[in-house]
Amino acid sequence: MQILFGVHETIVKINSKSMNIEYIQHYISTHFNSRTIVKNSINIPASKANLYHRTFLLKWLYSLYSKKNKPMPELKESLLQRYHKAIKITLPQKIIHSIRYKVVNNETLHLAITPQNAQIALKIKTFLQVKMTIFPIYLEIKLETFSEKARLQKLLNSREIINVPHKHIYNKQEIDEFFHEPEEEKQEIKIFSPLSSAYVVLKMNPTDDIKRVKKQYKYLAKELHPDKVSSEDKELVALHTKKFQELLECYEIILSASPQITTYS
């Protein structure tokens, strides 16, 4: 284990895979809302807030250091004086996130991600585009149709979409029943035309007035625009860009099917 003093951040490199830091991850998730997790590093931005928690964390990290090295009081003192600087903890392997399912009812599911990661929550919200509320310790997702549930199931089981190492924790019977496709929906084969699909993407009905469609498009375009997310997260930017392009194409399909109405976007 190494402790490095950078100009703007304190870097703690944990090299041993045998060192159990799950409790530290939990402590950070509980007390530092502004932290970010990127691959194998946990980043806590510079701040003079949460003095007690930042000092306690630095003492904890120093105690791990002193197990592998001779205690160095001057190092501990220098470390504690940097409580306000950014802290970066790097691990020898990617951080595995556990995604815990809890079925509330036949339309509502709670997902708890540990360690918490705001980027995963944003990717889920961007991909699904359904009713979703972000609470401090879980995501509440409302899914009204089987197709929406199937989309969530695909997202959670795809490392290409979430793109982080993760494992699922759930009651198999409950989750199987939640994702189960009703017999009546199995028997009904739906063939969507491009226009019908466009209305589905905009979450509108073909009978809706074009003004309402335009208003909905502007709302979704604002939510899905790539500028809404940090340019540093290339995966999330790519996902927003893809969804934004899909939205624009669907909107143009609806407009072209309504030539009698002149609209300006």
Asked whether residue 265 is domain-assigned, the answer is no
Looking at the structure, tell me whether residues 195 and 163 fall in a common domain.
no
Look at the chain and report how many structural domains it folds into.
Answer: 3
Q: Which DSSP string corresponds to the chain?
A: -EEEE-SSEEEEE---TTS--HHHHHHHHHH-TT-EEETTEEEE---SSSHHHHHHHHHHHHHHHHHHS---HHHHHHHHTTTTSEEEEE-SSPPPEEEEEEE-SSSEEEEEEES--HHHHHHHHHHH-SEEEE-SS-EEEE--SHHHHHHHHHHHH-HHHH-S-EEEE--HHHHHHHTPPPHHHHH------HHHHHHHHTT--TTS-HHHHHHHHHHHHHHH-GGGS-TT-HHHHHHHHHHHHHHHHHHHHHHHT-TTS----
Model-level pTM? 0.55
Parallel/antiparallel/unpaired status of strands 139-142 and 131-134: antiparallel
Interatomic CA distance for residues 213 and 216, integer angstroms: 5
Looking at the structure, tell me whether residues 116 and 55 fall in a common domain.
no
Output the pLDDT for position 261.
Answer: 45
Interatomic CA distance for residues 84 and 87, integer angstroms: 9
Interatomic CA distance for residues 141 and 152, integer angstroms: 9
Output the pLDDT for position 185.
Answer: 56
Looking at the structure, tell me whether residues 177 and 228 fall in a common domain.
no
Phi, psi angle pair for 97, to nearest 5°: -95, 135
Token pair for residue 46?
């510079």
Looking at the structure, tell me whether residues 181 and 248 fall in a common domain.
no
Output the pLDDT for position 237.
Answer: 83
Q: Map tokens 């160095």 to a residue.
A: 72
Owning domain of residue 227: 191-256
Output the pLDDT for position 135.
Answer: 85
Asked whether residue 264 is domain-assigned, the answer is no
Looking at the structure, tell me whether residues 17 and 66 fall in a common domain.
yes
Asked whether residue 263 is domain-assigned, the answer is no
Phi, psi angle pair for 199, to nearest 5°: -65, -35
Asked whether residue 80 is domain-assigned, the answer is yes
Output the pLDDT for position 262.
Answer: 44
Looking at the structure, tell me whether residues 62 and 127 fall in a common domain.
no
Asked whether residue 133 is domain-assigned, the answer is yes
Q: What is the pLDDT along the chain (265 residues), one digit of tens a residue?
A: 889 999 999 999 988 766 667 788 878 878 887 888 887 889 999 998 889 999 999 999 998 888 777 778 889 999 999 999 999 999 888 777 888 899 999 899 999 888 777 777 877 888 888 888 888 788 999 988 888 888 888 888 777 667 777 888 888 888 888 988 776 655 554 556 888 888 888 888 888 888 889 999 998 898 888 888 777 777 778 888 888 999 999 999 998 887 554 444 4
Q: Map tokens 């409790």 to a residue.
A: 23
Token pair for residue 142?
């409302």
Looking at the structure, tell me whether residues 115 and 69 fall in a common domain.
no
Token pair for residue 186?
């199995």
Asked whether residue 262 is domain-assigned, the answer is no
Asked whether residue 178 is domain-assigned, the answer is yes
Instruction: Mention every residue, 6+ apart, whose C-beta is less than 8 A from residue 40.
Output: 90, 91, 92, 93, 94, 95
Asked whether residue 200 is domain-assigned, the answer is yes
Structural domain ending residue among the three candidates 90, 110, 138: 90
Looking at the structure, tell me whether residues 85 and 101 fall in a common domain.
no
Which is nearest to 85 in space by CA: 44, 25, 115, 119?
44
Parallel/antiparallel/unpaired status of strands 36-38 and 97-103: unpaired
Output the pLDDT for position 141.
Answer: 92
Structural domain ending residue among the three candidates 138, 170, 186: 186
Looking at the structure, tell me whether residues 101 and 55 fall in a common domain.
no
Interatomic CA distance for residues 251 and 265, integer angstroms: 10
Looking at the structure, tell me whether residues 19 and 84 fall in a common domain.
yes
Burial group, residue 11, by CB count within 10 angstroms (0-12, 13-18, 19+): middle
Output the pLDDT for position 161.
Answer: 65
Looking at the structure, tell me whether residues 105 and 164 fall in a common domain.
yes
Looking at the structure, tell me whether residues 12 and 35 fall in a common domain.
yes
Structural domain ending residue among the three candidates 90, 113, 135: 90
Query: The domain that contains 249 carries what CATH number?
Result: 1.10.287.110
